[in-house]
Amino acid sequence: MTAPNRIVFDHVSVSFRTESGTLPVVDDVSFTVKDREFVSLVGPSGCGKTTMLNILAGFVLPTSGSVTLDGAPIAGPSPDRGVIFQEYGVFPWLTVEANIEFGLRLRANLKSVTERTNVCDRYLKLMGLSEFRKAYPRTLSGGMRQRLALARAYAVAPQFLLMDEPFGALDAQTRTAMQDLLLEVLQKEGKTVVMITHSVEEAIYLSSRVVVVSARPSRVRCIVEIPFPYPRTESLHEKPEFLQLRSRIRDLVMLEYAAQEQQTRDAAPH
């Protein structure tokens, strides 16, 4: 009955070597992500959460422990894991259309011209960018660039979507619209998603589970199941259960922020 585990973090620790010694950023983290789950990591800023996402993306190796994808260790970046970076990284020298088709011109997922056009048309439409297919990114708004990054990631048909504060740079209205668009797209083409966010509200609204992560080094404080069924709509935000869950998780996160502040104060030179 239960879906299989697709991502398994098993006692994962990461430390970086710095000039003043080793700096632990992730400490003994274990959690799993099942097929088609949407898991959010929330917690104080610091490099821990991003490092966890970078392990999944294939940019960083754990110092100890293991991270497996469908049972196999991660060897490096691959088009089966789409990554949405906070700063989007849309290619400024390519038109909207060429940005979406970028992945489909690579040997790893080479497609014919007709297929490319079809895929491109589909995501232009889905992301509401059809009018801008020949435009360069400099003419697009932040929300549109975000949609373009999502379309480009979707075009190579990844099974996983890894997002590092994808909506962090957007204004409140655009952010809400993008959250709904993401839910809508995921409803149509399901992915297994891991997202980092600072917004507890956003984490609850989008996720099936929320992992609360501690201040540096990152440890898993607790994992909260979000019981609301998909498809979700904005009215969810006003439900008492939502509000209860929000204050519970917010309290947990605030404790971690306080801990982090204490750390910073202790580390400050006297």
DSSP three-state, residue 215: coil
Sketch the per residue contact string, 144 through 163, with another protein: x for CB under 8 A, - otherwise.
--------xx--x-------
Site for another protein in 41-60 (CB under 8 A): 57-59
Q: Does 19 bind another protein (CB under 8 A)?
A: no
State which residue, 82 or 143, has the beta carbon closest to another protein. 82
Question: Omega into 217 within 30° of 0, i.e. cis?
Answer: yes
Q: Does 87 bind another protein (CB under 8 A)?
A: yes
Q: Which residue's entry shows tokens 């898993």? A: 220
Cβ 109 to another protein, closest distance in Å? 6
| Piece of 12-20, 91-99, 171-179, 210-218 that binds another protein (CB under 8 A) | 91-99
Cβ 228 to another protein, closest distance in Å? 30
Cβ 7 to another protein, closest distance in Å? 16
State which residue, 152 or 221, has the beta carbon closest to another protein. 152
* Number of other CB atoms surrounding residue 71 within 10 Å: 9
**What sign does the dihedral 157-167-203-127 (CA atoms) show?**
negative
Burial code (b: 16+ CB inside 10 Å, e: under 16) for 197-209 equals bebbbbbbbbbbb
| Piece of 92-100, 116-124, 204-212, 248-256 that binds another protein (CB under 8 A) | 92-100
Question: Omega into 231 within 30° of 0, i.e. cis?
Answer: yes
Q: Does 93 bind another protein (CB under 8 A)?
A: yes
Q: Does 228 bind another protein (CB under 8 A)?
A: no
**What sign does the dihedral 43-47-50-56 (CA atoms) show?**
negative
Give the per-residue SS3 of 64-76.
Answer: EEEEEECCEECCC
Q: 26: closest CA among 10, 14, 17? A: 14
Among 44, 48, 62, 82, binds another protein (CB under 8 A): 82
36 to each of 7, 109, 139, how far by Cα in Å? 11, 22, 34
Q: Does 142 bind another protein (CB under 8 A)?
A: no
The site for another protein (CB under 8 A) is made up of: 57-59, 76-79, 81-83, 85, 87, 89, 91-94, 102-103, 105-109, 136-138, 152-153, 156
